[in-house]
Amino acid sequence: MSIESTRAADFAVVDTPIGPFTAITDDEGAVLASGWTADAENLRLLIHPMLRPPVLRQQDSLGAVTEAIVAYHRGEVHAIDDVPVHQRSGEFLMHAWDVLRKVPAGDPVTYTEFAAIAGRPEATRAAANACARNAAALFVPCHRVLRIGGALGGFRWGLDAKRWLLDHEG
């Protein structure tokens, strides 16, 4: 077991226009997992085993992370851009998540385009897998990736939430 995974992590739940949003942060204030749910334990299980905290502590606020969540949902769509995120996986997924953070709000891409900007134009399925395995929703904005023709595709937090996010950013 990694030393990283022996630490407790903090979480807070924020009310948003599309339901409760929970974020889990490490002791450096980086987001480990987040999404539109009040179930912090379910989120904890999405965290890579090497980073997964054994204990969660509920807080009223996570400081800058909570401020960014509130600001984003109020219309400041760039408030999430500089929030640190810690995820772990293989080389391509790590790179793909970094690329996702650079997809501009209001300018979604297709899975095919995402694969190309991630440097593997033939790997559309791998690009879709990066979205599916992303534990840090919103901060790693997988909602900005669509199917060819503009169909929403999948989204762990529901297609209604994905549509709201895209409309909010548009």
Tell me, yes or no, whether 155 lies in a domain. yes
* CATH number of 139's domain: 1.10.10.10
Q: What is the mean pLDDT of residues 78-99?
A: 94
Q: Kindly tell me if the per-residue pLDDT of 3 is higher than 50.
A: no
Lowest model confidence (mean pLDDT) among 10-19, 76-85, 90-99: 90-99
Q: Is the domain of 105 the same as that of 55?
A: no
Task: Give the residues across from 22 on adjacent strands.
Answer: 13, 35
Q: What is the mean pLDDT of residues 61-79?
A: 98
131: annotated active-site residue = no
Tell me, yes or no, whether 1 lies in a domain. no
Furthest-apart CA atoms within the chain: distance in Å: 45
Q: What percent of the chain has pLDDT over 90?
A: 88
Average pLDDT, the chain: 93
Q: Is the domain of 163 the same as that of 95?
A: yes
Q: Of 62, 142, 145, 161, which one is the catalytic site residue? A: 142
Q: What is the mean pLDDT of residues 4-8?
A: 65
Cβ–Cβ < 8 Å for 51, 43: no
Q: Is the domain of 130 the same as that of 61?
A: no
Give the number of domains in the chain: 2
Domain holding 102, by residue range, is 91-169
Q: Is the domain of 96 the same as that of 121?
A: yes
Cβ–Cβ < 8 Å for 140, 134: yes
Q: Kindly tell me if the per-residue pLDDT of 5 is higher than 90.
A: no
Backbone φ and ψ of 118, nearest 5°: -85, 0
